[in-house]
Amino acid sequence: MLVTQYFSKDLYKGKTVFVTGGGSGINLGVAKNFAALGANVAICGRTQEMLDAAAAELRAFGTKVSADVRDSAPLEAALEKSRAALGAMDVLVCGAAGNFLVPAEKLSPNGFKTVIDIDLLGSFNATRSAFEQLKETKGTILYISAGMAYMPHAFQVHVGAAKAGIDMMMKNIALEWGRFGIRANSIVPGPIEETEGLKRLSDPAEKKKLINAVPLRRTGTVDDIGQVAAFLAPPLASYITGCVVVCDGGQNLPGSALFNMGAEQMLRAQQG
Ligand code: COA
Ligand code: NAP
């Protein structure tokens, strides 16, 4: 359910939100929730058609720029383009990511680097490029992390390293930039319905097992994450910084054993 059910539709009127990887899935869900509360939203990603479709959904609130977060100069240009169109950003959402299941011993150095570059370096590039705008607005940064950051998951060595790096970077940024009025927090989504991430990591045939292992007995929606993002952005949550906010229905509580078994089955099936 969109946040407009709970918050004033003008809460973010006149505010600007920039979402990396905002063309799809959870990040687009976050973008839509901010847009529904009146924010101007800019999204970036690599696939032009996906950005076009997403911007159409964001309608009048949206603008889109094609940029790969791994390349700092074009990303910086994208952030400047957003500023020129919508004003200095109040919220940066670092959501761009890549993921695939692979046993550590079969992961090439370039495969490992690719995910580190998109998730961790990409989040740093966006953070660094957004500094002046966020300083001006006393804005906030939201990193989209994952449970792999704090609990080992099988066939996720690259993602665990990248997301753990993001969460520690978030804390460093919160520590250093608090004096500028800039806050930084991470959101950890659980298994979110109809997303590329869930498709890659969980077998739809095993959905019942997945749901039974979540204490709240359901998968999440992109709006569950959108609601957390809206709460963590100014003017709300104004004294919260340096936190990892887990929004997973309690999925992490029993550990990663079910994920590990399911992932092993998926890999076996892929290998034939
Ligand atoms: N298993 C093992 N290695 C893999 C792999 C897989 N399933 N997919 C890619 N790699 C490796 C490649 O082999 C390559 O390494 P190499 O040069 O040593 O062979 C390296 O990763 C880069 O692959 P490439 O396809 O060139 O990367 P890309 O930059 O075009 O795409 C990905 C990045 C691989 C992460 C791609 O899956 C992607 O674009 N993902 C975005 C969407 C997504 O992952 N959503 C879920 C978010 S949770
Ligand atoms: P998704 O739709 O694939 O989202 C990832 C986005 O990142 C895509 O729009 C992708 O677009 C973009 N992206 C990838 N590489 C990029 C790059 N180099 N530069 C710019 N943009 C790039 O997957 P999702 O499942 O919704 O995941 C969104 C976020 O939630 C990720 O951070 C993920 O780790 C996190 N998460 C998801 C789940 C889940 O259940 N789905 C659980 C925990 C955490 P392009 O490919 O067009 O660039």
Within a domain: 220 = yes
Contact present, 185 and 232 (Cβ < 8 Å): yes
Mean confidence (pLDDT) of the chain: 95
Task: Identify the H or E element spanning 209.
Answer: helix 207-212
Give me the residues paired with residue 243 across strands: 185
Within a domain: 2 = no
With bands split at pLDDT 50, 70 and 90, how would you rate the model's confidence at 229? very high
The predicted-structure confidence for 12-56, as pLDDT tens digits, reads as follows: 999 999 999 999 999 999 999 999 999 999 999 999 999 999 998
pLDDT of 248 strictly over 80: yes
Identify the pLDDT of residue 3: 74
Is residue 163 flagged as an active site residue?
A: yes
pLDDT of 262 strictly over 80: yes
What lines the ligand 1 site, CB under 6 Å?
97-100, 102, 107-108, 110-111, 114-115, 196-197, 200
Contact present, 143 and 134 (Cβ < 8 Å): no
The predicted-structure confidence for 99-125, as pLDDT tens digits, reads as follows: 999 999 999 999 999 999 999 999 999
Q: Which structural domain, as residue segments, surrounds residue 86?
A: 9-271
Within a domain: 137 = yes
Residue ranges in 59-156 assigned as alpha helix (H): 72-86, 109-115, 122-137
C-alpha neighbours within 13 Å on the C-beta side of residue 269: 12
Within a domain: 1 = no
Within a domain: 101 = yes
Residue of 44, 106, 42, 100 whose CA lies nearest to 72: 44
Identify the pLDDT of residue 65: 81
Identify the pLDDT of residue 198: 98
Its pTM stands at: 0.98
Which of helix, strand or coil describes residue 76? helix
Give me the residues paired with residue 41 across strands: 17, 62
- Per-residue DSSP letters for 27-51? HHHHHHHHHHTT-EEEEEES-HHHH
Within a domain: 226 = yes
CA of 121 to the centre of ligand 1 (A): 15
Atom number, ligand 1, closest to the C-alpha of residue 108: 18
The predicted-structure confidence for 153-209, as pLDDT tens digits, reads as follows: 999 999 999 999 999 999 999 999 999 999 999 999 999 999 999 999 999 999 999
Q: What is the CATH number of the domain that holds 111?
A: 3.40.50.720
pLDDT of 60 strictly over 60: no
Return the residue whose CA atom lies nearest to atom 13 of ligand 1.
111
Identify the pLDDT of residue 230: 97
How many domains does the chain divide into?
Answer: 1
Residue of 42, 39, 94 whose CA lies nearest to 65: 42
Within a domain: 68 = yes
Separation CA 94–CA 56 (nearest Å): 21
Within a domain: 162 = yes
CA distances from 102 to 38, 147, 158, 260, 270 (A): 41, 17, 9, 12, 11
140, amino acid identity: T
The predicted-structure confidence for 81-98, as pLDDT tens digits, reads as follows: 999 999 999 999 999 999
